[in-house]
Structure 1
């Protein structure tokens, strides 16, 4: 019986982390759902006020990539941990990022140095979707050979760059070391620039 209960601890940890991240963001004043008053499964328009407000959007691809990266990192750092506990650790990292990403410090940084001039942070439902997307990426990475995981990450990054002119790599680049040429290229993809 104790073994059966022990198998549920990581799941309890995952649910607890998701709830804690949502509660922290609520305490920070983040909106629970889109101010439009409804929740969509997918928001296709990156340049709309619904971006980062619904359950998933084009940036969900970046969070799936987070899962691949966290899987690789934790498999290297903590190979003796069970897959389930490594997933919990990955969710702690992702959850911490979701909280930090929705602080004025990071929101203002996005607005200053990226093409996301109208970014005001994520809704709580979008943040939960981002956390779940990371877990999906983590689970996929656990089942793929290394070459398959690398190919999947390159494909996700390539699709996002092609469709929305942004991805995890460009996002990190622009937050840490903004490149004006990249920003100009991204802005050219905006509907008003066409």
Structure 2
């Protein structure tokens, strides 16, 4: 994994990609910060107007886990590319940031916002603030960089722990979020709605 550690140019490119995503989100009309008018380091109430508006919330672990997953994928691809003559492995972080930035932009389009409102536990979801989207990209990058330092079993264990923690706390996590976005199951949606942490 250490061969995937980004060099200075890759870090600067990652920052430029994140800044471009922020510019796109602002151009889309997303609010820079929570419309409540203040910024919180942590906002723990999922079913509230402040969810997905601040620096961290119960969905931040999902974005951190994105980073763990993308580091694992990058490592697998690097091994394959190495056999084919090698590729610039240290550009893996900017690629991961670009993927996460593309997701943050698409997640805040009217079609995806409506899909979240209809199919997932994010009842009443109205999109992210730009601050929250930028923080989500940061959480992903942090997960990616940590995965480069940890043994793969430790990264896997950390990802599983974060999934179980979010499942226990809010009856939602990355796995359920993807499932419900792609293939909604009414029984799961009812179970999530009945959770005290969501109300």
Deviation at 1:7, TM superposition (A): 4.1
Structure 2: gaps spanning 5 or more residues? 1-5, 80-85
Contact 2:169–2:197 (CA<8 Å) still a contact in 1?
A: no
RMSD of aligned residue pairs (Cα, Å): 1.7
Structure 1: gaps spanning 5 or more residues? 1-5
Please identify runs of 4+ aligned residues in structure 1 that moved more than 2 A: 78-84, 190-193
TM (normalized to structure 1)? 0.92
The 2-side partners of 1:192 and 1:81 are apart by 45
Q: Deviations over 1:152-182 (max 9, x none)?
A: 1100000000001100000000000001111
Q: How many residues align?
A: 188
The 2-side partners of 1:8 and 1:134 are apart by 18
The 2-side partners of 1:92 and 1:63 are apart by 14
Q: Does 1 or 2 have the higher relative contact order (CA < 8 Å, sep 6+)? A: 2
The 2-side partners of 1:68 and 1:93 are apart by 13
Q: Deviations over 1:83-138 (max 9, x none)?
A: 64111110010000000011011100001111212100000000000000001110
Deviation at 1:189, TM superposition (A): 1.2
Report the counterpart of residue 18 of structure 1 in structure 2. Answer: 18
Contact 1:52–1:126 (CA<8 Å) still a contact in 2?
A: yes
The 1-side partners of 2:108 and 2:198 are apart by 26
